[in-house]
């Protein structure tokens, strides 16, 4: 992700005042985390414009988990399946309506799914038993259910919260906990909901629990909650690159989180996968050789030197304040997430089996209504659907999916007699068609096109971010010139 540093922009730079943002040094190290009181030295640095906050484009919503490859794709897929299973079990549970949260505040619903996946990955990494993982994922999915009692406008508010508004938002863990007392759930699950904002130093809420008084499952969900919030774009601040988010969390070790939980998160995340390319602030390109997990933004980098291309340089960014990482580019084959919908399970399974060897992940649904219901949980890259199905035909499914996601890629399997459907499907935005019986080489060709389309979409997003970033810098320069004159 392309990002830039901009000036603090707060009028309150008095020692002791809480920082309004996470603040970084020019070389990208975290100096102060949001809410931490400003020391006299930090206030001095702010006045001399030596500390900055991060800025990125809010309108660009990239899927950070998929684009940054923070986790092995098979592990991430297992986490997605675990979350879907728990979501199903909650949908069967009387008295719990997580979809109401989706209608109330779509961000919180999406965030809850991400926190479920992250919590699963952390728990799996430390070999927690399946039953424990199930409880953690359930608790993670429900952790913010109490936000149903907070007005939606307040949850989406872009400006600074008034003290009374903050008090109202802080009621959500206890309200969620109380609501779940009415339903039959394991106590561990409701403890997660109640305690996910408790902090290691006792400064959290609602109970002010401290250290090991906080339930360990709530500690896992609590750190996943903060990590996902940091790397997601919000209405009031941009997404933070994952490596900076980890640095912020490291800074919160012993304050907000136990050292053990921080280590678990650091171990679960793959920050620099082997095929990633580093763009340094100097314009040089490099590859990460190794890094100390306590200093994730300062790896050892092998840099291609223009003056002597045969002798690449090794830079240790921990001891080199001149260089810092500007962009991480992730290369390599993109595996697609594909939803296959067909009321004839055998046909759907045969197609999935034919596609799987190419490394793509297929999910099969025999019910079109169920596929539609799960669309915005799975967010597939591509949907391949049969046309004639009893519950909802493929064309209606296409239209419904495009209502949820205007960029959805939906391919229809049509028979010779479906020409009218084909014309209607083109108008409804179908991505392609397969004529039955489906020829696998045709399918693979279309999957390659989808991969190429996704890659170019990602590149366009990077370019857009870079242009907006330049725009921000130009505006800043203009502001400074205006002040100087």
User: What are the residues binding Fe ion (CB under 5 A)?
Assistant: 144
Q: Please, which residue, 146 or 296, has the CB nearer to Fe ion?
A: 146
Q: Please, which residue, 62 or 108, has the CB nearer to Fe ion?
A: 108
Q: Helix (H, G, I), strand (E, B), or coil: what is residue 269?
A: coil
Q: Please, which residue, 144 or 465, has the CB nearer to Fe ion?
A: 144
Q: Please, which residue, 144 or 256, has the CB nearer to Fe ion?
A: 144
Contact status, residue 74 vs residue 121, Cβ threshold 8 Å? no
Question: Which residue do the tokens 């996946």 mark?
Answer: 117
Compute the least distance from the CB of residue 421 to Fe ion, in Å.
46
Q: Please, which residue, 132 or 169, has the CB nearer to Fe ion?
A: 169
Question: Which candidate, 363, 357, 366, 370, places its Cα nearest to that of 339?
Answer: 363
Q: Please, which residue, 180 or 447, has the CB nearer to Fe ion?
A: 180
Q: Which residue lies nearest Fe ion, judged by its C-beta? A: 144
Compute the least distance from the CB of residue 90 to Fe ion, in Å.
17
Q: Please, which residue, 100 or 474, has the CB nearer to Fe ion?
A: 100
Report the phi/psi class of residue 63: left, alpha or beta, with left for phi > 0 and alpha for psi in -120 to 50. Answer: beta
Compute the least distance from the CB of residue 137 to Fe ion, in Å.
16
Q: CA angle 259-260-264, nearest 5°?
A: 120
Compute the least distance from the CB of residue 212 to Fe ion, in Å.
21
In whole angstroms, what is the distance from residue 452 CA to residue 443 CA? Answer: 14
Radius of gyration of the chain (CA): 24
Q: Give strand ranges (E) for 196-348.
A: 276-280, 285-290, 300-303, 313-316, 325-330, 337-341
In whole angstroms, what is the distance from residue 353 CA to residue 357 CA? Answer: 7
User: Edge-to-edge strands of the sheet including 51-55?
Assistant: 4-6, 51-55, 23-25, 30-32
Compute the least distance from the CB of residue 111 to Fe ion, in Å.
9
| Six token digits for residue 444 | 């693979």
In whole angstroms, what is the distance from residue 463 CA to residue 62 CA? Answer: 13
In whole angstroms, what is the distance from residue 304 CA to residue 477 CA? Answer: 32
Compute the least distance from the CB of residue 172 to Fe ion, in Å.
6
In whole angstroms, what is the distance from residue 364 CA to residue 76 CA? Answer: 18
Compute the least distance from the CB of residue 197 to Fe ion, in Å.
6
Question: Which residue do the tokens 């949980």 mark?
Answer: 377
Omega before 437 within 30 of 0, i.e. cis: yes
Compute the least distance from the CB of residue 233 to Fe ion, in Å.
18
In whole angstroms, what is the distance from residue 357 CA to residue 354 CA? Answer: 7
Compute the least distance from the CB of residue 174 to Fe ion, in Å.
11
Which DSSP category does 39 fall into? Answer: P
156 Cβ contact list (under 8 Å, min separation 6):
105, 107, 235
Q: Please, which residue, 237 or 323, has the CB nearer to Fe ion?
A: 237
Report the phi/psi class of residue 446: left, alpha or beta, with left for phi > 0 and alpha for psi in -120 to 50. Answer: alpha
Which DSSP category does 439 fall into? Answer: P
Q: Please, which residue, 77 or 169, has the CB nearer to Fe ion?
A: 169
Compute the least distance from the CB of residue 176 to Fe ion, in Å.
8
Contact status, residue 143 vs residue 86, Cβ threshold 8 Å? no
Q: Please, which residue, 67 or 171, has the CB nearer to Fe ion?
A: 171
């Amino acid at each position: 992700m392309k990002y830039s540093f901009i000036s603090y922009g707060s009028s309150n730079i008095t020692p002791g005042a809480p920082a309004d943002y996470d603040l970084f040094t020019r070389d990208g190290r975290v100096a102060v985390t949001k809410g931490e009181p400003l020391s006299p030295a930090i206030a001095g640095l702010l006045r001399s414009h030596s500390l900055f906050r991060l800025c990125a484009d809010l309108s660009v919503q990239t899927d950070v988990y998929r684009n940054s490859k923070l986790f092995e794709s098979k592990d991430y897929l297992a986490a997605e399946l675990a979350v879907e299973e728990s979501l199903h079990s909650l949908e069967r549970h009387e008295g719990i309506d997580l979809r109401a949260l989706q209608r109330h505040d779509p961000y919180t619903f999406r965030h809850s799914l991400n926190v479920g996946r992250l919590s699963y990955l952390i728990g799996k990494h430390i070999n927690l038993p399946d039953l424990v993982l199930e409880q953690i994922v359930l608790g993670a999915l429900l952790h913010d259910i109490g936000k149903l009692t907070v007005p939606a406008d307040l949850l989406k508010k872009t400006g600074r919260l008034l003290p009374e508004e903050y008090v109202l938002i802080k009621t959500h863990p206890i309200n969620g906990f109380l609501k779940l007392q009415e339903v039959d759930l394991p106590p561990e699950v409701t403890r997660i909901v109640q305690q996910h904002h408790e902090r290691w130093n006792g400064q959290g809420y609602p109970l002010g629990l401290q250290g090991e008084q906080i339930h360990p499952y709530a500690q896992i969900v609590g750190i996943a909650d903060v990590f996902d919030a940091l790397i997601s774009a919000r209405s009031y601040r941009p997404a933070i690159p994952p490596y900076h988010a980890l640095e912020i969390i490291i800074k919160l070790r012993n304050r907000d989180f136990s050292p053990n939980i921080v280590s678990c998160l650091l171990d679960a995340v793959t920050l620099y996968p082997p095929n990633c390319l580093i763009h340094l602030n100097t314009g040089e390109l490099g590859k990460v050789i190794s890094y100390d997990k306590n200093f994730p933004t300062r790896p050892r980098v092998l840099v291609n030197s223009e003056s002597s291309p045969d002798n690449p340089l090794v830079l240790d960014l921990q001891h080199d304040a001149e260089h810092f990482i500007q962009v991480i580019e992730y290369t390599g084959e993109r595996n697609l997430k594909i939803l296959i919908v067909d009321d004839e399970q055998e046909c759907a399974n045969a197609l999935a089996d034919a596609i799987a060897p190419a490394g793509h992940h297929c999910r099969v649904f025999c019910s079109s209504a169920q596929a539609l219901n799960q669309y915005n949980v799975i967010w597939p890259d591509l949907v391949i659907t049969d046309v004639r199905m009893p519950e909802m035909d493929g064309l209606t499914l296409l239209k419904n999916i495009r209502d949820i996601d205007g960029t959805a890629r939906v391919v229809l399997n049509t028979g010779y007699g479906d020409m009218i459907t084909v014309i209607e499907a083109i108008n409804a935005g179908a991505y392609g068609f397969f004529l039955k019986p489906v020829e696998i080489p045709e399918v693979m060709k279309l999957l390659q096109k989808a991969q190429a389309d996704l890659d170019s979409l990602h590149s366009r997003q990077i370019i857009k971010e870079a242009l907006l970033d330049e725009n921000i810098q130009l505006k800043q320069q203009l502001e400074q010139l205006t002040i100087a004159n």
